[in-house]
């Protein structure tokens, strides 16, 4: 059994992307507890809705710096 944190980190970093995601999910659950399935589904639905908005052109992406600059301008008025 691997018990040294460095060995665990090295092993985890060598996993493929899908296994890294599974491991990250398990680690987060061990810290925060199980995720409510209804809340998880609501987030999945929201992500899908936003993805479709981007695809259809109803929404667009903006850089963080542009958004912050615009917010600063509006706050100065």
Residues 26-50: pLDDT tens digits?
Answer: 999 999 888 889 999 999 999 999 9
Rg (CA), the chain: 20
Identify the residue with better confidence: 77 or 39.
Answer: 39
Distance, in Å, from the CA atom of 19 to the CA atom of 8, rounded to the nearest integer, reads 14
| Tokens matching residue 42 | 């609501």
First to last CA, the chain: 62
Distance, in Å, from the CA atom of 58 to the CA atom of 44, rounded to the nearest integer, reads 19
| Tokens matching residue 3 | 């018990």
Distance, in Å, from the CA atom of 67 to the CA atom of 75, rounded to the nearest integer, reads 12
- pLDDT at residue 2, rounded to an integer: 64
- pLDDT at residue 33, rounded to an integer: 87
- pLDDT at residue 1, rounded to an integer: 62
């Amino acid at each position: 059994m691997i018990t040294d944190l460095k060995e665990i980190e090295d092993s985890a970093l060598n996993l493929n992307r899908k296994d890294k995601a599974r491991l990250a999910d398990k680690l987060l659950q061990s810290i925060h507890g199980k995720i409510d399935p209804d809340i998880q589904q609501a987030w999945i639905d929201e992500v899908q809705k936003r993805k479709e908005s981007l695809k259809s052109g109803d929404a667009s992406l903006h850089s963080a710096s542009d958004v912050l600059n615009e917010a600063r301008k509006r706050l100065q008025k």
